[in-house]
Chains A and B, each alone.
Chain A
């Protein structure tokens, strides 16, 4: 796969795709440039030709997102800044004091922080421990259900060690028990198949700038058909360009949750990214990434003083790989990889202390290599060579 920008040109090896994917497909910047240069108007506000053009781009983006995730209706795609925005809308919008929510031991702070806040307001929270490889036993989730349980909130794939949670099993169980199911797909959208219907997802929080290859500042929440607008309180209220004669928030999708001018520039880029993704095929991207991931893990496991976290079977993980070199701080590894080898990755706790507790790396954290569609075998070989050199020094 080629983005037009190769690591050969920049001299850098970018292995931080779980933080944000880079580079982006060539059409993304072009679409954003076109929007600013040729369209520029406020979507859904004025009704003149440029405003209508802007609105049409946003609508097309809704359709592309709906189609990717098997959403029931493009109008149930609510755009916001990112997955965090979507998660906050779902959690704060649906949970009331006295409700019980179940989550897992590998969650990102995007889920944990809103839950802790809600807990102080009287929401009960159960966090199910995961195994040391980050996996979750769906039976444990079922055992934790109480009479007041309203929601199960799960990360689809860990941003620390790549472990994939069995969302379909949990989703089907949640539906049988008449519970709502929220899935954070920040790390899985665009690489793993996701179907809101088959996976029984009521709230799907997504971000545009990671494995969907769009720009930052795009994402949101896709809302399933079991959720009525009156049951989900909006996080923000304000102008929507609709029902302007009324000073109360509209009650229909998506306007109820989309107050204020949208990031139309970003969404133009996201649309181009989703079209690129469809052309490539997410199966192809997944297969490319897992070929590289297999080589990376195999190479890391061959270094005697390196520990790799997460599952070693490729079918149970994404191409995000956490590891540590014994007797070398992750911060030192990260700095030296950047300065001496031009390898860019993320170290530390990755905004997910729970996940690090689960895999046994709290509070020091680990080094994370996260592979994207534009990485090459050469990138992986160079990264392995660099880790080898640092590991030899640490022995």
Chain B
């Protein structure tokens, strides 16, 4: 499957909200979506982002000390 998206998997909705806020503040495109079933059986949300932004996002996540479970390319 080839897409322009990746998802950031997080421990909880609160973490997703935090990432959404940080990315939006930096003008990056993102959307909270349900976690795709093939990635996790979780009932929560993850942050869908553009693949092309991944490197910048990784830096932001480090700078803001946000804990993420993984970043998965769709």
A residues within 8 Å of B by Cβ?
43-48, 51-52, 55-56, 58-59, 62-63, 73-75, 240-245, 250, 252, 254-255
Contacts and interface: CB of A to CB of B under 8 A. Distances in A.
B67 interface: yes
Interface in B10-42: 11-18, 20-21, 32-35, 40-42
Given A43-B13, A44-B12, A48-B34, 8 more contacts: A47-B35, A55-B17, A55-B45, A56-B20, A242-B11, A242-B13, A242-B42, A243-B11
Contact of A242 (B20, B21, B44, B67): B44
B12 A241 contact: yes
B11 A241 contact: no
Given A52-B32, A59-B18, A59-B21, A244 B12 contact: no
A244 B17 contact: no
A370 B56 CA distance: 52
A109 B11 CA distance: 36
Contact of B44 (A62, A75, A241): A241
B44 A44 contact: yes
Contact of B12 (A46, A48, A51, A242): A242
A241 B17 contact: no
B62 to A, nearest CB: 15
A252 B17 contact: no
Given A48-B34, A59-B17, A245 B41 contact: yes
Contacts of B41: 244-245
B14 A244 contact: no
Nearest to A255: B12
Contact of A47 (B11, B20, B43, B67): B43
A74 B18 contact: yes
A48 B16 CA distance: 14
A46 B18 contact: no
Nearest to B35: A47
Contacts of B18: 59, 74-75
A190 to B, nearest CB: 24
A74 B14 CA distance: 9
Interface string B1-12: 000000000011
